[in-house]
Amino acid sequence: MPVEVLLSLLKRSQRIVVLTGAGVSTASGIPDFRGPRGIWQRRQPVYFQQFLASEEKRVEYWDYKCEGYEQFRDAQPNAAHRAIVELEKMHRLHALITQNIDGLHQRAGMQDSRVLEMHGTNRWVECLSCGLRSEPGPAVSAFRKNQRTPRCECGGFLKFATISFGQSLQPEVLAQAIAAVEGADLLLALGSTLAVYPAAQLPVIAVQRGIVLAIVNQGPTEQDELATVKIDGDVSEILPPLVSSLISNPQLTSRP
């Protein structure tokens, strides 16, 4: 049974890298982007160069971000987020890499410095001119009031601190993610279709290095054929009992 196989992998792994996607947060009420009812089914993304070039596109961007602002702000971690924290407490978590922008891993108890956010975060807005970060609430309120792009005190455009389509990832975050995977003994991909690059390259790197790949996701992913085990289902239902099994067997949690 795939669940037993994954439990066996977790038992013998001491340097687990967890890669999370939107499917980890759907149980917290955060919609995914690419599923049948995902955001991109009713919205077209505003590309970064469009944001820079057009006030009309900036307004479109801010309208979309304000639409879901309270949903992200008020969301709470679910059992999957908490299970990953437990892996960290057992000293089995080598690194946590996320494609999510919701900050729920930190709300669940992960230190900010322990989370590699490949696609940035919704927890801050940042100035595209001076780089200053600030709480998003005032910018959201300002946009809702006047329907114009919020600006920094320096005059630069404000944008949520997420990576938009066409915007480069932070090179240091990508480098840290690759280094973490290369130092793992298990890459556990959770709730991701593994279709968005460069994050989708991480499982390929792992397998090329002889590192075991395990996937838990509702529906197929683009890397299923590389996995030692693939479980089709809800991460928030599958992962927590497996981690609880490790906790209830202290002899399994000791480090070599």
Cite the active site residues: 119
CB 210 within 8 A of CB 184: no
Contact status, residue 253 vs residue 18, Cβ threshold 8 Å: no
Prior bond to 203 cis, omega within 30? Answer: no
CA-wise closest residue to 157 among 39, 48, 20: 48
Task: Compute the chain's Rg from CA coordinates.
Answer: 19
Rounded Cα–Cα distance for residues 32 and 98 (Å): 14
- Give the residue from 107, 114, 104, 136 showing the smallest Cα distance to 22: 104
- Cα–Cα distance for residue pair 101/118, rounded to 1 Å: 9
Q: Where are the alpha helices (DSSP H) in the chain?
A: 2-12, 48-53, 55-67, 69-74, 79-89, 104-107, 137-146, 171-182, 201-208, 235-247
Conformation bin of residue 243: beta by default, left when phi > 0, alpha when psi is -120 to 50: alpha
